[in-house]
């Protein structure tokens, strides 16, 4: 005889994805600003605009090796009628232009005969010259607040002599639903921790024996991500545990394949509860986790996306948003999994297609926006 047991948590309804994102935006506040050495800021989100305080370069520079000349003296120059350029000066890339020069002729465009420089071809005004302020005008915003400090941006700041920058670097604790190790959950935890670090946060993964109560209540992080235990199974109690110490804002998201995900607040700390299934954890992180982390970091970094053409039709459930795993090659996107995404599809996928809830799918040959596989 089957007995009716009490299930600690149930999903009463699926909250639309847009509503959950709106609640994340309303409840989650940016973390405090810290000023750090430039080298320590790599990959972080800038908290303040980087403003250039003076023109760069401050004076005109040579853009190539050659001869600094007055361009008007070369107007009629030719190989059979060289034009004297008495003030011509040998100059190397990056050197300041002499005050009486306005162009840099190629090295072979000027010859020296009897100690006198002569131009063999005309040089236009400004040719071979980097004008003052060409890299950045004084007072210009070089990198706005909210953007990630990439390797290139770090190099630009180093070239300008910037030594310290203000950043927001949210600290996220990554926890497991249960203390004992489960391979699927352990894999998701490791992947989420890496994703947090790649997107400007700091991830601290709890010990294998850390209790869920401790992960939810200790104050060493600005947000908590819990993987597993979000369903209605006999051993699923993650959402109930969050409700016991805080407020569950939404349990059950209208997003395939992450329907059992949940969002909660424990005091002022946001908590995102991800399914223990690997495909569900990835999808929930992509749509909800990234939004939460961006809000904590006050990030305005635009998402990396590109357009491709769908190779075959996609049918979707109306009323539910869906992430469809695709394989993109030569700007063609082939759907490889719908609903549950098996490991073989996860191994092949390199992108998602987002299907909004009001859509019932996409026709073959449609142009679609590809979200790179996280």
**Rounded CA gap, 224 and 239, in Å?**
13
**Rounded CA gap, 271 and 218, in Å?**
12
pLDDT digits (tens, 9 = 90+) for 24-45: 999 999 999 999 999 999 999 9
**Rounded CA gap, 214 and 264, in Å?**
16
Q: Which residues pair with 113 in a beta bridge?
A: 116
User: Is there a single domain that holds both residue 69 and residue 126?
Assistant: yes
Instruction: Say what the pLDDT of residue 178 is.
Output: 75
**Rounded CA gap, 293 and 168, in Å?**
11
pLDDT digits (tens, 9 = 90+) for 339-350: 788 888 888 899
pLDDT digits (tens, 9 = 90+) for 143-167: 999 999 999 999 999 999 999 999 9
For the entire predicted model, the pTM comes to: 0.86
User: Is there a single domain that holds both residue 213 and residue 272?
Assistant: yes
Count of structural domains within the chain: 4
152: CB partners within 8 A, 6+ apart: none
3: pLDDT strictly greater than 80: no
User: Is there a single domain that holds both residue 203 and residue 267?
Assistant: yes
47 pLDDT band (50/70/90 cuts)?
Answer: very high
> What CATH number is given to the structural domain containing 315?
2.40.340.10
5: pLDDT strictly greater than 90: no
Instruction: Say what the pLDDT of residue 240 is.
Output: 93
pLDDT digits (tens, 9 = 90+) for 122-135: 999 999 999 999 99
pLDDT digits (tens, 9 = 90+) for 277-310: 999 999 999 999 999 999 999 999 998 899 999 9
What CA–CA distances, in Å, run from 29 to 76, 81, 123, 294, 295? 66, 72, 57, 10, 7
User: Is there a single domain that holds both residue 341 and residue 291?
Assistant: no
**Rounded CA gap, 71 and 39, in Å?**
43
**Rounded CA gap, 232 and 241, in Å?**
13
Q: Is residue 90 part of a domain?
A: yes
Long-range contacts of 261-269 (CB under 8 A, 24+ apart): 261/230, 261/288, 262/230, 262/238, 263/20, 263/23, 263/24, 263/288, 264/239, 265/27, 266/216, 266/217, 266/224, 266/242, 268/29, 269/219, 269/221, 269/222, 269/223, 269/224
pLDDT digits (tens, 9 = 90+) for 206-216: 877 778 888 89
102 pLDDT band (50/70/90 cuts)?
Answer: very high
User: Is there a single domain that holds both residue 237 and residue 348?
Assistant: no
Tokens linked to 267: 């005091």
Instruction: Say what the pLDDT of residue 1 is.
Output: 40
**Rounded CA gap, 225 and 235, in Å?**
19
Residue that terminates a domain, selected from 297, 324, 357: 297
Instruction: Say what the pLDDT of residue 211 is.
Output: 84
276: pLDDT strictly greater than 60: yes
Instruction: Say what the pLDDT of residue 6 is.
Output: 56
């Amino acid at each position: 005889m089957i007995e009716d047991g009490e299930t600690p948590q149930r999903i009463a309804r699926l909250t639309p994805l847009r509503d959950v994102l709106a609640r994340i935006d309303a409840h989650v506040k940016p973390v405090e600003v810290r000023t750090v050495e430039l080298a320590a800021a790599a990959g972080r989100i800038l908290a303040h605009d980087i403003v250039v305080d003076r023109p760069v370069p401050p004076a005109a520079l040579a853009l190539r090796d050659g001869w600094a000349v007055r361009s008007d003296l070369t107007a009629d120059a030719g190989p059979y009628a060289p034009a004297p350029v008495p003030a011509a000066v040998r100059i190397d890339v990056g050197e300041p232009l002499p005050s009486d020069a306005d162009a840099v002729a190629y090295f072979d465009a000027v010859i020296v005969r009897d100690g006198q420089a002569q131009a063999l071809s005309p040089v236009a005004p400004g040719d071979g010259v980097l004008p003052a302020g060409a890299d950045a005008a004084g007072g210009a915003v070089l990198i706005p607040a909210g953007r990630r400090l990439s390797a290139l941006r770090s190099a630009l700041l180093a070239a300008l002599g910037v030594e310290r920058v203000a950043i927001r670097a949210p600290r996220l604790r990554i926890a497991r639903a249960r203390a004992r190790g489960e391979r699927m959950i352990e894999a998701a935890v490791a992947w989420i921790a890496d994703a947090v670090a790649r997107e400007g946060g700091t991830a601290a993964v709890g010990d294998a024996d850390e209790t869920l109560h401790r992960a939810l209540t200790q104050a060493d992080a600005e947000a908590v991500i819990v993987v597993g235990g979000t369903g209605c199974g006999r051993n699923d109690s993650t959402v109930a545990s969050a409700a016991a110490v805080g407020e569950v804002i939404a349990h059950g998201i209208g997003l395939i394949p992450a329907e059992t995900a949940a969002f909660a607040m424990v005091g002022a700390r946001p908590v995102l509860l991800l399914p223990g299934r690997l495909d569900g954890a990835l999808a929930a992180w992509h749509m909800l986790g990234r939004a939460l982390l961006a809000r904590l970091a006050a990030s305005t970094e635009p998402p990396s996306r590109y357009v491709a053409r769908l190779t075959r039709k996609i049918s979707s459930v109306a009323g539910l948003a869906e992430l469809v795993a695709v394989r993109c090659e030569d700007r063609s996107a082939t759907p490889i999994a719908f609903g549950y995404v098996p490991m073989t599809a996860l191994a092949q996928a390199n992108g998602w297609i987002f299907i909004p809830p009001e859509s019932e799918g996409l026709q073959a040959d449609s142009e679609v926006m590809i979200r790179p596989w996280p």
